[in-house]
Amino acid sequence: MKLIQIAIATLATAALCSPVLAQSKHEAPLCEAAKTNRVVEIIYDKDASKGCLPRLVDVHQVAIGNNGKMYMHGWQSRGCTKGRDYASERIFRFDKIKSVKIIDGAFNEKSQSIKLKGWDGCIGSNCFIKENICE
């Protein structure tokens, strides 16, 4: 009986430390932002250690990749990208998002037109999105 309890405790601990659980904590606010055309402020990957401002992103879609990981598609209007600050359409991995906060803001015209076109889950010929969760 003791061995079964240890096995259950080990499995429960592993489940709590799972990257999927860490990814899913951002799903609700990002889906809310996508469904209501809201802007989020995110701290991404190593931005703080690079001295970057938090990123401002118009959330277009949240999806699950073929690899089982979650992704966000959107328009970044502020924040470091490859060492500089510029606006662009971007894909964000949930496992690199450190924090999410919905803020006041509106999509600019370019961002809105990109959202209306939708995203097919591809970057060039690399199609890696299995299913959209929300948009």
Q: What is the DSSP letter of 26?
A: T
pLDDT tens digits, 73-112 = 999 999 887 666 678 899 999 999 999 999 999 899 999 9
pLDDT tens digits, 19-59 = 444 447 899 999 999 999 999 999 988 888 888 889 999 99
Q: Which residues contact 133 (CB under 8 A, 6 or more apart)?
A: 27, 31, 61, 62, 63, 64, 70
Three-state SS at 134? strand
Q: Where are the domains of the chain?
A: 19-134
Is the pLDDT reported for residue 4 higher than 60? no
